Structure 1
Amino acid sequence: MRRYWRVFREFFRTCLVEELEYRSEFMGNFLSSLFGIGMAILTIKVFFYQTDHLGGWGYADVLLLLGIFNVLQGLIDFALRPNMSRLLQHIRTGTFDHILTKPVDSMFYVSFRHLVFWRLIDVLLGIGLMIYALIEKHYMPSVLDVAMFIVSIGAALVLIYALWMMLMTTSFWVIRIDDLSFVFNSFFETTRFPISMYRSWLRIVLTYVLPAAFITSTPALSLLGKWNGMTTIASIILSGLFLWLSRRFWRYALRSYTSA
């Protein structure tokens, strides 16, 4: 584990040096992220012009959910999304052979080799929105609430990584994965709002078939003091299961890889 942490720090340092060569882009990216979260907040305000609750969630609650969504989206765009297209290119051109010869796990390498630091702006804006939502709600989470939130959002990150990794792995057989990326993005967008606002059949699918409820709703409820111990344990087990499945799928894909 220590060895992989050192490798990740080297990836981190190298990508940071590369991004610092284009510092003038930072302000433009910051304004773009600020505009994006501003439009998302405006959309929520439009909903609440017509109602006081959205799927049983109040205005401040939905803002908190949006903040968590923004944090997770920022982390996805920081580490996972930049590597997807590169994996497909490596497989197409045969340069994936060089990755297999490196003294580091190939799944780890293709997941974290390229990092886009300006996407961390979304993470900071998301955290700021979460703090604002708690102030708006006049609620101060307890230490236990924060601990359950950390566990829940950690499980959500593992779950997102596992699902995204399984999607990336299809690059070994699929020439174009843009359509599959659209499917994942559409699935992830459903977590921007409370799962309870969807119709009964869709809510069942997003809870028990596609575990969207565990991604943002469970961490938000934990931070609001409405956590459930069994739900938190279920999210940990589910994220571990999907991580194991993604690892098995990756190893199966490697056995099918025949180079360019």
Structure 2
Amino acid sequence: MAGAGVNRADDERPDAAPRFDDRRDLLRPLRLFGLFFRVGALNELQYRANLAVQLFQSGIALGTGLIVLGLVFGQTSNLGGWSQSELLAVMGVHILMGGIINSAIQPNMERLMTDVRQGTLDFILTKPEDAQVMISVREFRIWQAVDIVVGGIVLAIAVSQLQAGIGVGAALIFALTLFLGAVMIYCFWLLVTTAAFWVIRMDELHELFEGLYQSGRWPVTIYPGWLRISLTFLVPIGFAVTVPAEALTSRLTVETLALAAAFAAVLFLVTRWFWRFGLRHYSGASA
């Protein structure tokens, strides 16, 4: 039975201690991801009908977003200072980041919750790899990555409509902010999911996050101050969607970029600590 309340000595769980040090191969997490990606892709390619389903769902979501965008700009020339092409860039980032979440982040967090509930996390903790890395790269839903492609296409269209266009520097900064945003979303998911060590049933987490994530279809700057802060620092949707869009539309300031990098670093360290703290309170299947 999985759950909380029974502490186990650190030496009973060899993976409870952090595995990263200067001597470790820093590329090993990427190699593990590549291995699990190949296995997951081979499994999912057996069900190619899922591709058609995902294409249909992505098409519906994209069409709905474009209709709403058209309705908004049928009444005004800008929304909170954002032009139509700039909001199209926000939509593209939102779709692309959603593809990253649904293909790589959410599946691993859902499996972690299941493992904690069923006590099968022990199989991970006894392996000679860092537990956090293992639980973060085991699952990859390849068909969900369709949204990454769709988001990229929408972004390309948006950039082509921007008067100034973008240069190599802006593209690199965009890639950096997108990476930082993905790291922050991953940390948010893992922080919340780690609570499964104490709160066993968390079945509605996906629906809750999805509802919050939909607010990222629009720049967080259009929301009231309290909501803008909440969607930036409590649930880092602003950093994950609006900031990369600002990088593409020449709105991003050096201060915002520095804040995003600092917040991502702090959030990762806090998440790492909380994960290790949760492991010490995991009772396992033998409890």
TM range, smaller chain: over 0.9
Q: Secondary structure of the residue that 2:250 maps to in structure 1?
A: coil
Q: 1:98 aligned to 2:130?
A: no
Give the secondary structure class of the aligned counterpart of 2:74.
helix
Measure how far apart 1:117 and its partner are: 0.2
Deviates more, 1:135-144 or 1:13-22: 135-144
**How many aligned positions are there?**
260
Shift of 1:210: 4.5
Q: Alpha carbon RMSD of aligned pairs, Å? A: 1.7
Q: 1:2, 1:200 → 2: CA distance? A: 41
Equivalent-residue separation in structure 2 for 1:28 and 1:180 (angstroms)? 23
Partner of 2:6: none
Structure 1 residue 157: Cα displacement:
0.9
Aligned to 1:164: 189
Matched, 1:237 2:276: no
Are 1:193 and 2:218 an aligned pair?
yes
Paired residue for 2:275, among 242, 250, 253? Answer: 250
Q: For residues 63-100 of structure 1, what are the alpha-carbon distances to aligned partners after superposition, in whole Å with 9 as ceiling and x for unaligned? A: 10010011100000011111222212211222111110
Q: Which residue of 2 aligns with 1:125?
A: 150
Identify if the C-alpha distance between structure 1 residues 203 and 92 changes in structure 2 by more than 3 Å, giving closer, same or farther. Answer: closer
Determine the C-alpha separation between the residues in 2 that align with 1:9 and 1:203. 36
| Structure 2: gaps spanning 5 or more residues | 1-25
The answer on whether the counterparts of 1:33 and 1:121 sit within 8 Å (CA) in structure 2 is yes
Tell me which of the two structures has the higher relative contact order, counting C-alpha pairs closer than 8 angstroms and 6 or more residues apart: 2
Distance in 2 between residues matched to 1:224 and 1:112, nearest whole Å: 32
Contact 2:44 2:142 (C-alpha < 8 Å) held by counterparts:
yes
Return the alpha-carbon distance in structure 2 between the equivalents of residues 5 and 216 of structure 1: 24
Displacement of 1:115 in angstroms is 0.6
* Worse-superposed segment, 196-205 or 25-34: 196-205
Deviation (angstroms), 1:107 = 1.3
Q: Which amino acid aligns with 1:182?
A: E
Q: Which residue identity lines up with residue 67 of structure 2 in the other structure?
A: L
Would you say 1:2 and 2:27 are equivalent positions?
Answer: yes
Question: Is the CA contact (8 Å cut-off) linking 1:148 and 1:227 kept in structure 2?
Answer: no
1:11 to 13, 33, 36: 36
The 2-side partners of 1:37 and 1:178 are apart by 27
The 2-side partners of 1:200 and 1:4 are apart by 39
Please state how far the C-alpha of 1:185 moved relative to its aligned partner. 2.6
TM-score by length of 1: 0.94
Partner of 1:25: 50
TM-score, length of structure 2 as denominator length: 0.85
**1:175 alignment partner in structure 2:** 200
Higher helix proportion: 1
Whether the aligned pair in 1 keeps the contact of 2:162 and 2:249 (CA below 8 Å) is no
Residues 157-207 of structure 1: CA distance to partner in whole angstroms, max 9, x if unpaired?
Answer: 111111111111111111221344333333322221011211233234334
Q: Provide closer, same or farther for how the CA distance between residues 146 and 201 of structure 1 changes in structure 2, counting only shifts above 3 A.
A: same
Equivalent residue of 1:178, what SS? coil
State the one-letter code of the partner of 1:119: Q
Identity %: 32
Query: Which structure has the larger Rg?
Result: 2
- Long gaps (5+) in structure 1: none
Amino acid of the residue matched to residue 188 of structure 1? Y
| 3-state SS of paired residue (2:77) | coil
Does the alignment pair 1:73 with 2:98? Answer: yes
Query: 1:111 maps to which residue?
Result: 136
SS in 2 for 1:21: coil
Which digits, 9 at most, give the CA deviation of each residue in 1:219-239, with x for residues without a partner?
111112222112111101101
